[in-house]
Amino acid sequence: MERRSETFYVTTPIYYLNGPPHFAHAYTSVAADAFARFNRIDGKTVHFLTGTDEHGQKVAQAARAAGEPPQEYCDRASAKFREMSGLVNLSNDDFIRTTDERHIRASRALWDAIAANGDIYREEFSGWYAVADEAFYDESELIGGKAPTGADVILLREENYFFRLSRWQDRLLEFYAANPDFIQPISRANEIKSFVRSGLRDLSISRTSVKWGIPVPGDQQHTIYVWLDALTNYLTGAGYPDTSSEIWRKFWPANLHIIGKDILRFHCIYWPAFLMSAGIEPPKCVYAHGWWTVEGAKMSKSANNFVPPAELVEKYGVDAVRYFMLRELPFGADGDLSCRALVTRVNAELANDLGNLAYRVLTIVARRCGGRLPKEANLSVDDRLLLTKATDMIELVRSHMHRYAPHRALEAIWAVVGACNQYISLQAPWTLDASQASRLGTVLYVAADALRHVGVALQPFVPATAAELLDQLAVPDTERTLEVLMNKKLGSDQPLPAPRVLFRKLDTDDPIDIRDSD
């Protein structure tokens, strides 16, 4: 059995099936994927889970509107999200559906564990419910008769099972204090703590009026509240309720739940309270990223301002889209999506800075060194400076990824790309003639090794482009890890494949206008 510190379990939110995937869903998934891939190249055994949230009123309504039985509707709608995972090149190890038998079992087991702790009771409920958010609101939270999110609310009166959330208020505050990294970024932690301090009410966790859900153990009249059902997916993905299984012992508690900021309360208050009640250790970290907006408005189906990821990927290519997502927006902040910004950034950074650099270096190797990577000899100060910068970059990338700052990690990688471009301009290998073959070899070797560092570090972000770069440098598949980078030199004298353009420039004249999309 591997030691706990050598494993990393990361999740995306599971997506509601009330519509097709949109850009922001792809964003959450790509961010989680970057963390999964980073931890793999950093030597961890990773478990990466994504999937779909299929029960509840919102999905039942969508099925009704489509004129389909809910299960058939979900099969079809879930397949679209599975397709999206492939489209944006997710490296997920599992794809969970809340209609999976294994998940139904896990949800009922979690319910039983919470009930066994005396935290569930039955009472008449009367209050406000927003189907769009699948959330209850206090009267005091309503703004102009609507939920704070702007969603319509309905007055609900039915007998429900309740979770004694109020009993967990102090324990939650103690938990946050003992685990300062649990809620990230820190601004979100403050928001959650003050909400908890202001007092927690017990939470309704079953419905009699919603049939499309998991029946409450021992009471077929009720279905489990969709958020309790949905959150449990993270346990199901780690083998729960089989807590003696290898997967459970290796991966629970999860290291990282990536979510959007609109679902913080569920993940940072309800989730740890449910888990503590059931005697299960809460996850290590919940990270809430910001919102993508289009001209200032949140991108959503209802605002009709979203782009299907397929359209973007088809037009610009998967790595262009991934690079833009991870580089453009400081992780955690909100930002505006503009295809013009995407094209400009990708052409400047991926095509020019990196693509041209690799092509320049590799074509000289092909022409002047018989297509074999030359050896280095007598390193100059400039050579050493570039190599040190490339090695130091690895530690920088690691620390930025540990601080959930993929945009900074990319910045650090681009600092090396920039330094390498400067190095090549300064060393001007094209001016070195046959009498300077040894110096020519050294310059090309040093540049190629800097590019190897860049290629390895780029794998979490633009996996296909990184793989192409490493293939062109003939770096074996088994040597594309941070550890190998720190301990093994780039092999010289091996034949390299004929250089290919790494990244084609995107067409600047014809960006997708997001406002025109449906």
**Binding residues for ligand MSP (CB under 6 A):** 13-16, 24-25, 27-28, 53, 230-231, 233, 259-260, 262-263, 291-292, 298-300
Query: Is 339 or 364 the residue whose CB approaches ligand MSP more closely?
Result: 339
Query: Is 27 or 161 the residue whose CB approaches ligand MSP more closely?
Result: 27
3-state secondary structure of 377: coil
Tokens encoding 53: 């949230």
**Residue matched to tokens 């001016």:** 431
From residue 487, how far is each of 323, 482, 483 by CA, in Å?
A: 28, 9, 6
Q: How far is the CB of 18 from ligand MSP (least distance, A)?
A: 8
377-384 contacts at long range (C-beta below 8 A, 24 or more positions apart):
377/438, 377/441, 377/442, 378/438, 378/442, 379/442, 379/446, 380/442, 382/423, 382/426, 382/427, 383/442, 383/443, 383/446
Strand partners, 376: none
Query: Is 230 or 350 the residue whose CB approaches ligand MSP more closely?
Result: 230
Q: How far is the CB of 235 from ligand MSP (least distance, A)?
A: 11
- Closest residue (Cβ) to ligand MSP? 260
| C-alpha of 145 from chain center | 35
Q: How far is the CB of 514 from ligand MSP (least distance, A)?
A: 12
Query: Is 79 or 437 the residue whose CB approaches ligand MSP more closely?
Result: 79
Pairing of strands 15-16, 94-97: unpaired
Residue 511 near residue 316, CB atoms below 8 Å: no
As to burial, measured by CB atoms within 10 angstroms (0-12 exposed, 13-18 middle, 19+ buried), residue 435 is exposed
Query: Is 176 or 227 the residue whose CB approaches ligand MSP more closely?
Result: 227
Residue 332 near residue 443, CB atoms below 8 Å: no
Query: Is 16 or 176 the residue whose CB approaches ligand MSP more closely?
Result: 16
Say how far apart CA 364 and CA 384 lie, in whole Å: 21
From residue 460, how far is each of 241, 373, 399, 426 by CA, in Å?
A: 32, 26, 14, 31
Q: How far is the CB of 145 from ligand MSP (least distance, A)?
A: 23
Neighbours of 497 (CB within 10 A): 12
How is 343-361 classified by DSSP, letter by letter?
Answer: HHHIIIIIIIIIIIHHHHH
33: left (phi over 0), alpha (psi -120 to 50) or beta: alpha
Q: How far is the CB of 3 from ligand MSP (least distance, A)?
A: 28
Q: How far is the CB of 232 from ligand MSP (least distance, A)?
A: 8
Q: How far is the CB of 309 from ligand MSP (least distance, A)?
A: 12
Query: Is 278 or 373 the residue whose CB approaches ligand MSP more closely?
Result: 278
Say how far apart CA 174 and CA 420 lie, in whole Å: 49
Query: Is 53 or 383 the residue whose CB approaches ligand MSP more closely?
Result: 53
Query: Is 53 or 468 the residue whose CB approaches ligand MSP more closely?
Result: 53
Tokens encoding 44: 């961890």
Query: Is 24 or 115 the residue whose CB approaches ligand MSP more closely?
Result: 24
Query: Is 16 or 404 the residue whose CB approaches ligand MSP more closely?
Result: 16
Q: How far is the CB of 418 from ligand MSP (least distance, A)?
A: 30
Say how far apart CA 252 and CA 238 lie, in whole Å: 6
Q: How far is the CB of 16 from ligand MSP (least distance, A)?
A: 4
Residue 343 near residue 506, CB atoms below 8 Å: yes
Neighbours of 508 (CB within 10 A): 10
Residue type, 30: V
Q: How far is the CB of 290 from ligand MSP (least distance, A)?
A: 7
Query: Is 24 or 417 the residue whose CB approaches ligand MSP more closely?
Result: 24
Q: How far is the CB of 460 from ligand MSP (least distance, A)?
A: 20
Residue type, 489: K
In sequence order, what are the residues at sequence separation of 6 or more whose Cβ sits closer than 8 angstroms to the Cβ of residue 488? 479
Q: How far is the CB of 333 from ligand MSP (least distance, A)?
A: 11
